[in-house]
Amino acid sequence: MASVKDMTEGRETPLLLKFMLPMLLGNVFQQFYNIVDSAIVGRFEGATALGSIGCTGSLNFLFFSTCNGLSVGAGVLIAQNFGAKNKELVKSTIANALYIVSAIGLVISILGVLLARPILTFMQTPPSQLEGAIDYMQIVSGGTIAVALYNFSAQAMRALGDSKTPLIFLIVASVINIGLDLLFVCVFKWSVMGAGLATVISQGISAVLCLAYGFWKNPYFKLSKNNLKFNKIIAEKCFKVGMPIASQSMLIALSCVILQRVTNSFSDLAVSAYTVTIRIEQLVQQPFASLGSALSTFTGQNMGAGKTQRVRNAMRKSTIMVLGFAVVMLGVCHLFGENIVSFFVKEKDVIELGAKGLKITSAMYFPLGMIYVTRGILNGTGDVFYAMLNGIMEVIGRVGFSLILVSLVDIGVYAVWFTSGFTWVITGLTGLIRYLQGKWRSYKMVEKSS
């Protein structure tokens, strides 16, 4: 069974690194959807068109969050059942979770198309960027079903220890995305609409390929008629674990929407510069995100096997990895900030402002990394209380700090970057405190097979 990997035995650090590296490559390629859209649109269509895409980022994340959270929740149950050697329950969980994610993904796709204009208008999107933002959001959020199906299949495979298969199909989709971007934007001159279409088509291809391969090759995806039956108990467990994680993501996305609205209140220049730094930080966060996903699978399998000491060892070693990467990226952003920003735009004022924003947030990359570490471990244990707490802290941070820094301290547009950084600090501390309390050791959603 080369398509599965048991993470309940062996040294923690090599296991985590070997598992996370394919995910890191996959996450980087996944970010190419946004980065290539932004770079091509920004370079060929200008900063205004780039701002149109940037205005929709937090909203699209909000629409994706429910499906992604349910997929992560299903992954936790799959990993714990795998660790507990419950093969038939793994299969039944895959089937039932697929029903749930598909249905909700379809509903959200429809809502995204219908609500794009009223939401973007409410967010005070600059008039020069409004129509482009509506076009982009309707296309991309309309493809939520494709994102949901890919993320579900990827989460299920990763829960079984296979982080390589999702990578392969992401690479294929990313190459297609780049080609379609160049065709639609540079040749057909479809601007942001072309970038959105390229993204949705690419995501759809990755979803179909990943699911098809899973049912063809992975032994746990080979479902019997009994596995395909709707199971109320499994569905309830999927919602019990998945909805708090979905709510966590939705609250984080909501806080980003609020901060985007604050950014929109400044100027087109601020929106464009903020969009660029968000794209860069999305790439910087991928090692943290990959490590967090690896920890979630590692924790789920080891909790199912009753091996909590291995989870504690993984936490300690992951903290060291996060610290090392954060220090390196701090130096890179301070030394080469303008060069990095200039990859996305040509306007000098946007480059200067974006580089200053990077210097601010890069000073707080370590607490950002610790958010992913503690979130990965605590989500992997099924700690549903922390999932909600994490999202609430993100909202409190982005709303509270933006109000203080804009209304009371009045430091201008730099408030948006300080708000992000300070939010990372308080959220990272919250996750660390929750982990140190030790309640996670008693959380377990499945029983070990006899």
For residue 185, the 8-state DSSP code is I
Domain segments of the chain as ranges: 12-442
Question: By C-alpha distance, which of 128, 70, 80, 98 is closest to 444?
Answer: 80
Question: By C-alpha distance, which of 4, 169, 195, 171 is closest to 81?
Answer: 4
Q: Radius of gyration of the chain from Cα atoms?
A: 21
Q: Would you write out the chain's pLDDT as a tens digit for each of its 450 residues?
A: 446 778 888 899 999 998 888 888 877 776 666 666 677 887 778 777 777 777 787 788 778 877 888 898 899 899 989 988 899 999 999 999 999 999 999 999 999 999 999 999 988 888 888 898 999 999 999 999 998 998 899 889 988 988 888 888 888 888 888 899 889 988 998 888 998 899 899 889 989 998 999 999 899 999 999 999 999 998 998 888 888 888 887 888 788 878 888 888 887 888 888 888 888 888 889 899 999 989 998 999 999 888 999 999 999 999 999 999 999 999 999 999 888 888 877 788 888 998 999 999 999 999 999 999 999 999 888 887 888 888 899 889 988 998 888 877 778 888 889 999 999 999 999 999 999 998 888 876 665 554
Read off the tokens for 7: 């993470």
The sign of the CA dihedral 153, 303, 220, 231 is: negative
Distance (Å, whole) CA 48 – CA 12: 47
Distance (Å, whole) CA 237 – CA 378: 17
Residue 408 CB coordination number (10 Å): 8
Within 13 Å of residue 418, how many CA atoms lie on the same side as its CB? 14
